[in-house]
Amino acid sequence: MIPFSRADRVSGLIQEVLSELLKKNIRDPRLAMATITSVKMSRDLKLARIYFTIYGDSEKSEAAAQGFESALGFIKRSLARRLGLRYMPDLQFFYDESFEYGSHIDQLLEKISTENEPDLKSD
């Protein structure tokens, strides 16, 4: 079994607690449909890069990023109480584009497969 680093354990805990905060405590409508997809911690635990996704267009993702920035103080205080770390890491929020990219690839593959199907019309 491969041991996980402390940064991996802390990032998993941040993701879990932050997801719970989004569901139960944060009332900002810009964050209503936001989902935390991953958290990447620096090795020294001073910086947490938090990736999120939200259903909708680029306007909603920008609004969600602004919502996270406006709720940053509340999020840091809530995380600090629950995590019990000596130092609270700085939090940076980023829109996770991997789901859009995956959806685009699926659409391309579907298009290719429908173009290459033999005609089902009989003579």
* pLDDT tens track, the chain, 123 positions: 566 788 899 999 999 999 999 999 988 899 988 999 999 999 999 999 999 998 877 888 899 999 999 999 999 999 999 988 888 999 999 998 877 777 778 888 888 888 777 655 544
Q: How far apart are CA 123 and CA 118, in angstroms?
A: 13
Query: Global pTM?
Result: 0.78
* E-assigned strand segments in 12-123: 34-41, 47-54, 90-95
Task: Say how far residue 47 (Cα) sits from the centre of its chain.
Answer: 16
Walk me through the domains of the chain, giving residue ranges and CATH numbers: 6-115 (3.30.300.20)
Which candidate, 37, 52, 34, 43, places its Cα nearest to that of 10? 43
Q: At what angle do helices 58-70 and 72-83 cross, to 10 degrees?
A: 60
